[in-house]
Protein backbone atom coordinates (compact mmCIF):
# COMPACT_ATOMS: atom_id res chain seq x y z
CA UNK A 1 0.00 0.00 0.00
CA UNK A 2 1.35 3.39 -0.97
CA UNK A 3 1.15 6.26 1.49
CA UNK A 4 0.07 9.62 0.10
CA UNK A 5 1.50 12.78 1.62
CA UNK A 6 0.18 16.22 0.83
CA UNK A 7 2.80 18.93 0.73
CA UNK A 8 2.92 22.22 -1.10
CA UNK A 9 6.09 23.46 -2.73
CA UNK A 10 6.98 26.12 -5.27
CA UNK A 11 9.08 25.44 -8.35
CA UNK A 12 11.62 27.93 -9.60
CA UNK A 13 11.00 29.54 -13.01
CA UNK A 14 13.88 27.58 -14.55
CA UNK A 15 12.37 24.32 -13.23
CA UNK A 16 8.98 25.21 -14.72
CA UNK A 17 10.60 26.00 -18.07
CA UNK A 18 12.46 22.66 -18.07
CA UNK A 19 9.22 20.82 -17.32
CA UNK A 20 7.46 22.64 -20.16
CA UNK A 21 10.31 21.75 -22.55
CA UNK A 22 10.27 18.10 -21.43
CA UNK A 23 6.49 17.92 -21.80
CA UNK A 24 6.64 19.52 -25.25
CA UNK A 25 9.26 16.93 -26.21
CA UNK A 26 7.34 13.82 -25.12
CA UNK A 27 3.75 15.11 -25.01
CA UNK A 28 3.24 14.25 -21.33
CA UNK A 29 1.62 16.43 -18.69
CA UNK A 30 4.27 18.27 -16.60
CA UNK A 31 2.66 16.84 -13.46
CA UNK A 32 3.54 13.32 -14.66
CA UNK A 33 7.21 14.32 -14.76
CA UNK A 34 7.08 15.91 -11.30
CA UNK A 35 5.36 12.87 -9.78
CA UNK A 36 7.86 10.51 -11.41
CA UNK A 37 10.84 12.54 -10.15
CA UNK A 38 9.46 12.62 -6.60
CA UNK A 39 8.71 8.87 -6.65
CA UNK A 40 12.22 8.05 -7.89
CA UNK A 41 13.75 10.25 -5.19
CA UNK A 42 11.67 8.68 -2.41
CA UNK A 43 12.38 5.13 -3.63
CA UNK A 44 16.11 5.80 -3.24
CA UNK A 45 15.73 7.00 0.35
CA UNK A 46 16.34 4.56 3.16
CA UNK A 47 14.76 6.35 6.05
CA UNK A 48 14.53 4.12 9.05
CA UNK A 49 13.63 6.40 11.89
CA UNK A 50 13.77 4.81 15.28
CA UNK A 51 14.29 5.86 18.86
CA UNK A 52 16.65 4.34 21.37
CA UNK A 53 15.20 2.13 24.08
CA UNK A 54 14.20 3.89 27.30
CA UNK A 55 16.96 2.23 29.32
CA UNK A 56 19.56 3.57 26.83
CA UNK A 57 18.42 7.18 27.24
CA UNK A 58 20.35 9.30 29.71
CA UNK A 59 18.24 11.83 31.62
CA UNK A 60 19.51 14.33 34.16
CA UNK A 61 18.26 17.37 36.00
CA UNK A 62 20.59 20.34 35.71
CA UNK A 63 18.59 23.02 37.48
CA UNK A 64 15.93 23.25 40.20
CA UNK A 65 14.21 26.39 41.39
CA UNK A 66 11.15 27.25 43.43
CA UNK A 67 8.28 28.99 41.67
CA UNK A 68 7.65 32.17 43.69
CA UNK A 69 4.06 32.41 42.42
CA UNK A 70 2.92 28.91 43.44
CA UNK A 71 3.47 27.67 46.99
CA UNK A 72 5.61 24.51 47.06
CA UNK A 73 5.98 24.34 43.26
CA UNK A 74 9.36 23.46 41.75
CA UNK A 75 10.72 24.09 38.26
CA UNK A 76 13.21 21.50 37.02
CA UNK A 77 15.15 21.47 33.77
CA UNK A 78 17.82 19.36 32.15
CA UNK A 79 18.47 16.90 29.36
CA UNK A 80 16.86 13.69 28.19
CA UNK A 81 18.92 12.15 25.41
CA UNK A 82 19.67 14.84 22.83
CA UNK A 83 16.70 16.92 23.99
CA UNK A 84 16.22 19.56 26.67
CA UNK A 85 13.28 19.64 29.06
CA UNK A 86 11.60 21.76 31.67
CA UNK A 87 8.82 20.80 34.06
CA UNK A 88 6.71 22.42 36.75
CA UNK A 89 6.08 20.09 39.66
CA UNK A 90 3.32 21.06 42.09
CA UNK A 91 3.31 20.36 45.83
CA UNK A 92 0.05 18.39 45.57
CA UNK A 93 -1.62 16.38 42.79
CA UNK A 94 -3.90 18.46 40.57
CA UNK A 95 -6.70 17.70 38.14
CA UNK A 96 -4.77 19.81 35.60
CA UNK A 97 -1.59 17.72 36.08
CA UNK A 98 -0.49 14.89 33.82
CA UNK A 99 -2.61 11.87 34.79
CA UNK A 100 -4.04 14.07 37.60
CA UNK A 101 -0.62 14.12 39.20
CA UNK A 102 1.83 16.79 40.28
CA UNK A 103 3.40 17.55 36.89
CA UNK A 104 1.53 20.66 35.72
CA UNK A 105 3.80 21.64 32.83
CA UNK A 106 6.29 19.60 30.82
CA UNK A 107 8.18 20.48 27.65
CA UNK A 108 10.70 18.39 25.76
CA UNK A 109 12.34 20.24 22.90
CA UNK A 110 15.09 19.92 20.34
CA UNK A 111 17.66 22.66 21.07
CA UNK A 112 19.05 22.54 17.51
CA UNK A 113 15.61 23.21 16.01
CA UNK A 114 14.96 25.94 18.58
CA UNK A 115 18.22 27.68 17.70
CA UNK A 116 17.50 27.51 13.96
CA UNK A 117 13.84 28.52 14.10
CA UNK A 118 13.80 30.69 17.24
CA UNK A 119 10.46 28.99 17.97
CA UNK A 120 9.80 27.35 21.33
CA UNK A 121 6.64 25.46 20.35
CA UNK A 122 8.06 24.66 16.91
CA UNK A 123 10.98 22.89 18.55
CA UNK A 124 8.89 20.88 21.04
CA UNK A 125 8.48 17.13 20.58
CA UNK A 126 6.27 16.99 23.70
CA UNK A 127 4.39 19.82 25.40
CA UNK A 128 1.94 19.69 28.30
CA UNK A 129 0.63 22.91 29.83
CA UNK A 130 -2.30 21.91 32.05
CA UNK A 131 -3.40 19.87 29.04
CA UNK A 132 -1.76 18.25 26.02
CA UNK A 133 -0.56 20.64 23.32
CA UNK A 134 1.80 18.08 21.75
CA UNK A 135 1.39 14.45 22.80
CA UNK A 136 4.41 12.13 22.63
CA UNK A 137 4.71 10.52 19.19
CA UNK A 138 6.02 6.97 18.78
CA UNK A 139 9.52 8.38 18.32
CA UNK A 140 9.24 10.81 21.26
CA UNK A 141 7.60 8.30 23.61
CA UNK A 142 10.79 6.64 24.96
CA UNK A 143 12.22 10.09 25.81
CA UNK A 144 8.95 11.10 27.48
CA UNK A 145 8.74 7.83 29.45
CA UNK A 146 12.35 8.11 30.61
CA UNK A 147 11.79 11.68 31.68
CA UNK A 148 8.58 10.80 33.53
CA UNK A 149 10.50 8.23 35.60
CA UNK A 150 13.05 10.89 36.56
CA UNK A 151 10.50 13.62 37.27
CA UNK A 152 8.14 11.27 39.13
CA UNK A 153 10.99 10.50 41.55
CA UNK A 154 11.21 14.20 42.40
CA UNK A 155 7.44 14.53 42.60
CA UNK A 156 7.24 11.96 45.44
Q: How far apart are CA 81 and CA 92, in angstroms?
A: 28
Same domain for 125 and 79: yes
Q: How far apart are CA 95 and CA 73, in angstroms?
A: 15
Q: How far apart are CA 82 and CA 55, in angstroms?
A: 14
Query: What's the pLDDT at 48?
Result: 60
Domain that holds residue 34: 13-44
Under DSSP, is residue 117 helix (H, G, I), strand (E, B) or coil? helix
Query: What is the mean pLDDT of each successive set of 10 residues along the chain, which is 156 residues long?
Result: 58 82 82 78 68 85 91 93 94 92 94 92 92 92 92 71
Same domain for 112 and 140: yes
Same domain for 17 and 81: no
Same domain for 68 and 30: no
Same domain for 58 and 36: no
Same domain for 66 and 136: yes
Query: What's the pLDDT at 1?
Result: 47
Q: How many domains does the chain have?
A: 2
Query: What's the pLDDT at 6?
Result: 57
Query: What's the pLDDT at 123?
Result: 92
Residue 29 lies in a domain: yes
Query: What's the pLDDT at 47?
Result: 61
Same domain for 78 and 39: no
Same domain for 58 and 39: no
Same domain for 75 and 24: no
Residue 72 lies in a domain: yes
Query: What's the pLDDT at 14?
Result: 86
Same domain for 58 and 98: yes
Amino acid sequence: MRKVLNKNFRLKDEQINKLKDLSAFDGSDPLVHVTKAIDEYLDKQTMQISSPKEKEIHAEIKDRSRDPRISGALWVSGNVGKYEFSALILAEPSKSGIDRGRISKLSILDPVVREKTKSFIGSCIVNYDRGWDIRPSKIAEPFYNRLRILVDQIAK
